[in-house]
Structure 1
């Protein structure tokens, strides 16, 4: 396998050996060095994405101790910008990057570069016990644990029950993308997706390819020598879905710049039957909150339905996207023991339930779905759907070079209005191969 960051990895090991040898002296020294701060004790910086910030800030305070404080630092809203900021800090061996909320696709790259501390022994067991299969896989790299699953995300098909009924769709049975697009177009509705040139568009493409039995790339353990598979029947099936939607009256007017937020507003329009929409778990709480503000009525909210992610190929099980947030510890932190302890605290069962209850960001640990608070906050069948989707869903390629893979796919599959199953998969395969081989630049 191709490796990056071996020097950083060696420096990290050396740092940990010194910390272990010094024992309590290291902690005392670190505390004395930080004594010029207002609190007189170390502050652990926790870089978080903008989801559930109120709950995260609460748990930063609750997980602070007599020995250290945890302070939240806000990352940009986009996954690409989040990665850029964190990667720059870690590449510079920034010791103030203590805790990080990581998109799961960052974990392989950061671990492979030697930028993350491993959760060893009891710490590794504590953060992985009872975790659902989808989120569990996201924190592993080379059979080691490099992050603590905090919350798990998956997409389902949200829809207006009245629209599905008018179309004659039995939503208790699996539905295909073709059926959903036709149902919306034939009945004056729309289909909401994420098709701007950003990470969520790759999430959609990847899920459809997985659902058709293929992969964007395989043998990802080989690094830049991974096998490029996107030019396949599965790739063509995904491209055909995008082309069909783009050419359909069901396409929303902002398709080429659509994101998670823009598609939400089409569910309950001032006029029209609404939409079918692919979106994450937060959508339920978003719409429930609109009742209190008076933007929708209880009757409208009761018309909101949910079903498993659509099939790409009829009869083939869909592969719902698996996402969420994992808590990583920076390899260059001055306080490795404190940071590993803090990571376990902010990813605790209590924190996971609070994020789900208050922000719609669902637990990574399966048992937390049975909590009384969540059973009261959500329909039982929705909680079950989310768990099933996380256990049976599919992740994006697990590669130390994922950032290159994602950007290469985006560059050839955007705009969705230009996607053609006869050419797009082949063109993107060639470009992706050239990027991995160093023959082309993004």
Structure 2
């Protein structure tokens, strides 16, 4: 993988790896370079650690990399990413790029990546469970309503509450959905404002406390992740579950006969709605995730790398990732693609777009990984969360960690 053999190295996250390899072959066909695809760890935090360590050592073999949006500002601020050339600005943040995705690739008014796919969470549920509970899912629902509906009707509520990045995402969306922020004034660097000790923070903690003490809590709540509750959708009365866009493709791929499969009737019972409200009447703020393609600052083939970045984020590439892997487009125009319309119901695609455009990203700060770790340390396990205590303790701990007075 030396720079002398005209091989570009592309570090990808574990989502859609086989499709990414196909894109690498297509985007290098007839070119003076080959693309070697290397896979990053499964855990988002470990992806960030591996990239940061290699880039801190001026690693020239990181030509392209898949970057989880909350870590974009950290890598850009450290000088580890090459700035996107002006001629690619339209591909990165132009009018065709969904606003939620476009916002993730900028840092201090400069562009450091090109969105490849965008992600968000919906409320997935069994229609029969919602009907039994008397919930009108055509209207916004609150976390309180969802928890009560599940608990009173033999169902459960699936979330991500293990001690990892996705738990910090859940907390962030609950706080944002209550009209608050975990932190603000991020342009002040380490002196940013820590806002989690607020009514919004207490509202967020109240939701977690209620679910943790409810009959709707799943047995593995403290260890739950994106995959643990998938199997419970069709167990007993079923569940309500907040999870990412891959869910539809996952269950659609299970329709058939045999162990672990589901029937067509089961699949028809799958419903989807906007992310629940933290506070009734306050619009929910679904999470914004996905992948941005960045070029390493120390690559010896930056021109080629940006050429590849443009190719693997093209409308055709985004269509392939959406249809094959359930990884939704970052470009608005791709949602009108015929193949995508054949693969997904029209109202589901519209909800994906709406959630990405109106959701809330994690705070754009180089210190997010530190803040996230501090939040996880205080808010985990979810069974320990107390509205009158946890937000205040986490605010103090975040400040101490940022000031070097405490360790994660």
- Tell me the TM-score normalised to structure 2 length: 0.98
- State whether structure 2 residue 41 is matched by structure 1 residue 76: yes
Structure 1: distance between partners of 2:40 and 2:370: 21
Q: Is the 8 A contact 2:160 2:226 kept in 1?
A: yes
Find the counterpart in structure 1 of residue 151 from structure 2: 185
Find the counterpart in structure 1 of residue 238 from structure 2: 274
Structure 1: distance between partners of 2:311 and 2:364: 26
Structure 2: state its 5+ residue gaps: none
Counterparts of 1:5-404 in structure 2, within 5 Å, are 34=4, 41-64=5-28, 65-129=30-94, 130-269=96-235, 272-292=236-256, 294=258, 295-404=261-370
Q: CA deviation at 1:293?
A: 5.7
Corresponding residue SS for 1:389: helix
Counterparts of 1:424-435 in structure 2, within 5 Å, are 424-435=390-401
Corresponding residue SS for 1:252: coil
Q: CA deviation at 1:278?
A: 0.3
Structure 2: distance between partners of 1:292 and 1:51: 24
Structure 1: distance between partners of 2:49 and 2:92: 26
Q: Is the 8 A contact 2:92 2:105 kept in 1?
A: no
Corresponding residue SS for 1:362: coil
Q: Is the 8 A contact 2:92 2:102 kept in 1?
A: no
Q: Is the 8 A contact 2:128 2:269 kept in 1?
A: yes
Q: CA deviation at 1:299?
A: 0.2
Deviations 1:393-428 (A, max 9, x none): 000010011110100000000000000001000000
Structure 2: distance between partners of 1:54 and 1:375: 22
Q: CA deviation at 1:391?
A: 0.5
Q: Is the 8 A contact 2:7 2:33 kept in 1?
A: yes
Structure 1: state its 5+ residue gaps: 1-29, 35-40
Q: Is the 8 A contact 2:91 2:97 kept in 1?
A: no
Structure 2: distance between partners of 1:403 and 1:46: 23
Q: CA deviation at 1:120?
A: 2.0
- Tell me the TM-score normalised to structure 1 length: 0.90
Deviations 1:60-88 (A, max 9, x none): 11111421111110100000110110001
Deviations 1:33-69 (A, max 9, x none): 72xxxxxx41111100110011100001111142111
The structure-2 alpha-carbon separation of the partners of 1:221 and 1:322, relative to structure 1 and needing over 3 Å to count, comes to same
The structure-2 alpha-carbon separation of the partners of 1:210 and 1:94, relative to structure 1 and needing over 3 Å to count, comes to same
Find the counterpart in structure 2 of residue 411 from structure 1: 377
Structure 2: distance between partners of 1:55 and 1:88: 27
Structure 2: distance between partners of 1:167 and 1:291: 26
Q: When the two structures are aligned, how many residues end up with a matched partner? A: 404
Q: Structure 1: which 4+ aligned runs deviate by more than 6 Å?
A: none
**What's the Cα RMSD here?**
1.2
